Every structure is written in structure tokens, then in C-alpha cells.
Structure 1
């Protein structure tokens, strides 16, 4: 089912269709198949929404300790660490997310954003290129590519 959704995402052009496909993919990613882990994931997301990033990280870490193959626990912990300003730790969790699910558009979008914030525009542009292969018509993608190319040109870094 996940592969089918990604195949459709690759060819989708309408923003509403892209959003619906992404939501379908997120629903699959957010289900671990284990009720206790699902509750832990939900608790972590609630803590993150409430702004308690430390508690959120604790919930996501617990899931990772119990089952390190739960991709979304790595991704959500990356998000919580990002929100705390822990960019390098967030990038490490994003790397684990992408090791488990290389098509994780949320992790890729976040990774590109962190690289951009850190001034690593060439790396950010490469990540955006990976995103483009997954969902070429993702809203905001072309603008981000343009912005990154401009930043590289302004810095004299674009060959």
C-alpha cells in the first residue's frame, strides 16, 4: 500500500491530491502495529504540541529503545530536537529516519531546512533534489530550490 501511495505521489500534480496522498502515507507511518507503542507515540505528539519538547523526546526515545525500527519515532524525535534548537541531534535522528525510510518527505524537508539554516546550501539543494524525485510537484519545492540556488549564487558557491 505504501509503495502504491508513493507511486501516485510521484505523478500527482494538484496540491489537494498531493496533500491527500501525503496524509495517507502519514497515517501508515503513524501506526506501529503495537497498541502500547502507538499510545506512546500519541503521548509524544501531544507533549510536542503542548510545547514540552523534553517530555516529547522522552516518549519518542522510549519507543526507539523498545523498537528501533519505528521510523516515525526517529522522525518525531528529530522534530522535537529541532524545536529545541538541537540541530545536529535533529540531523542525526533524521539520518536514522531516512535509513529506515529513504522516501520520508517530512524528514527530507526538515533536513533541507536545517542545512539551509546552517548555511550548508549545497547540501540543502541536494536534499531538495531527492524530494523532487519523490514528489516533483510538492507545493513550495520549486520556490525552495530557487531560493537555495540564489543563496549559492550570492555566496559565489554555485558553479
Structure 2
């Protein structure tokens, strides 16, 4: 099912179509196959939305300890670490996410953002180029790539 959704995502042109396909992929990613873990994931996501990043990280960590293969727990914890300003921990969890699901467009987008914030424009651009092979018409992608290329030119890189 995921392979079909990703194939359609590569071909999608309209922003609404891209968004619908991404939402379909997210629905698959958010299901661990274990009702208790899915409830924990929901609790962690609610904590993150409420700004309680410490509780969110605790919830996601417990999920990871029980099911390290559950990709989305790694991705959500990466997001919580990012929101707490812990970029290294976030990048570590993004790496775990991408090891399990190399097509994870959310993790790639987040990694590019962190690289940009750290001033690593070339690496950010490389990540966005990888993202473009997965979802070439992702809204905002081409603008981000152009902005990074301009930044690299200004820096003489």
C-alpha cells in the first residue's frame, strides 16, 4: 500500500493531491499495529501540541523501547527534541527514522530545516534534493531549494 501511495506522490502535480497522498501515507505511518502503543503515540502527540515536550519525549521513548521498529515513534520524538531545541538529539532520531523509512518526507523536511538553521546550507540542499525524488511537487520545496542555492552563492560556496 505504501509503495503505491509513494508512486502516486511522485506523479502528483496539484498541491491538494500531494496533500491528500501525504495524509494517506501519514495514516499508515501512525498505526503501529498495537492499540496500546497507538494510544501512547496519541498521548505523546497531544503533549507535544500542548507544549509539554518532556512528557512527549517520555511517551515516544517508551514506545521505542517496546517497539524499536515503529518508525513514527522515532520521528515524533525527533520533532519533540527539535521543539525543545535539542538539535543533535533530533538529528539522531531523524537518522533512525530514515534508516527505517528512507522515504519519510517529514523527517527529510525536518532534517533540511535543522541543517539550514545550523548554517549547513549545502547539506540542507542535498536533503531537499533527496526529498524532491520522493515528492517533486511538495509545496514550498522549490522555493526552499532556490533560497538555499542563493545562500550558497552569496557565501561563495
TM-score (norm 2): 0.99
Name the residue aligned to 2:33.
33
Matches within 5 A, 1:6-155: 6-155=6-155
- Following TM superposition, the consecutive aligned residue runs of length 4 or more in structure 1 with deviations greater than 4 angstroms are none
Work out the CA distance in 2 between the residues paired with 1:64 and 1:104. Answer: 17
Instruction: Please list every run of 5 or more consecutive structure 2 residues that lacks an aligned counterpart in the other structure.
Output: none
Work out the CA distance in 1 between the residues paired with 2:151 and 2:90. Answer: 23
- C-alpha RMSD over aligned residues: 0.4
Cα offset, 1:22, TM superposition = 0.2
> How many residues are matched?
157
TM-score (norm 1): 0.98
Work out the CA distance in 1 between the residues paired with 2:81 and 2:55. Answer: 11
Q: Residue by residue, what CA displacement relative to the aligned partner does 1:3-61 show, whole Å, maximum 9, x if unpaired? A: 00000000000000000000000000000000010011000000001000000000000
Name the residue aligned to 2:2.
2
Instruction: Please list every run of 5 or more consecutive structure 1 residues that lacks an aligned counterpart in the other structure.
Output: none
Work out the CA distance in 2 between the residues paired with 1:151 and 1:82. Answer: 23
